[in-house]
Amino acid sequence: EDEQIVAEIMRRRFFPAFVTYKPWEGFHFAGHEIRITEATDCYGAVVWPSALVLCYFLETNSKQYNLVDKNVIEIGAGTGLVSIVASLLGAVVTATDLPELLGNLQHNVLQNTKLKCKHQPHVKELSWGIELEKNFPRSSCHFDYIMAADVVYHHPFLDELLLTFDHLCKNDTVILWAMKFRLDKENMFVGRFQTVFDLEVISHFPSLNITLYKAMRKGRMKV
């Protein structure tokens, strides 16, 4: 079953039939052909498999996780694929990443969502752990969903990442997080994450070493 679903996910990706002056990859999600411009000089400008896993989940579970008119923020949006798919599914999306990635992110988001979405997505700078209250004040920012794909890897900002999740998450916010397991140090982040959030595995793909999690804040009021 794992291999069948992974094969279906990977079939959503296609490549240009001829060489272009700007490298791009294509994807089929949410009934649209999505073209993503990439760069090879930084991690954040490449589409990683975790993003495809999350996009496939959003599309195939759109009734259970109905994004229409929901406020969604993606952290570490990179090329913007997840944000684009969420927008095409009807969400009010804020796609965030580091300042040096915003140009390419904005290009991809605009190219693939203009006149196609109910709500035009926003692109905004977010450096994990920095000026969170100034840029995303708790009193006025409410997100129904936080989305993250492959944000845990070999980088020195895991403390700041957890702080960012904590700041953006209200009691009723749902986190959808696709995690590729690599090294023990990064994998230990899952345990630290669970000190703040209740974590549930909703999909697991051993052949990709990727797990898709749903998380909500611990101690929230139960309905």
Three-state secondary structure call for residue 179: strand
Tokens of 192: 């630290």
Exposure of 154 by Cβ count < 10 A (0-12 exposed, 13-18 middle, 19+ buried)?
A: exposed
If you count them, how many residues does the chain have? 223
Q: Would you state the pLDDT for residue 21?
A: 72
Q: Would you state the pLDDT for residue 155?
A: 82
Domain layout of the chain by residue ranges: 1-217
Q: Would you state the pLDDT for residue 223?
A: 44
Give 10-residue mean pLDDT values along the chain (223 residues).
93 86 89 88 76 98 97 97 98 96 94 96 98 96 97 89 97 97 84 96 95 92 51
pLDDT in tens, 18-61: 776 777 899 999 999 999 998 765 655 789 999 999 999 999 99
Q: In what order do the strands lie in the sheet with 145-149?
A: 122-125, 92-97, 71-74, 145-149, 174-180, 210-217, 197-205
What are the start-end ranges of the H helices in 11-144?
49-60, 81-88, 102-113, 132-135
- The vertex-52 CA angle with 217 and 14, nearest 5°, equals 165
CA–CA separation, 12 and 15 (whole Å):
10
Instruction: Give the HSE-up count for residue 199: Cα atoms under 13 Å, Cβ half-sphere.
Output: 17
CA–CA separation, 201 and 205 (whole Å):
11
First-last CA distance in the chain: 34
Q: Would you state the pLDDT for residue 73?
A: 98
CA–CA separation, 58 and 55 (whole Å):
5
Residue from 142, 124, 108, 26 nearest 75 by CA: 124
Q: Are 130 and 160 in contact (CB under 8 A)?
A: yes
Check: pTM over 0.85? Answer yes or no: yes
* CATH code for residues 1-217: 3.40.50.150
CA–CA separation, 199 and 161 (whole Å):
16
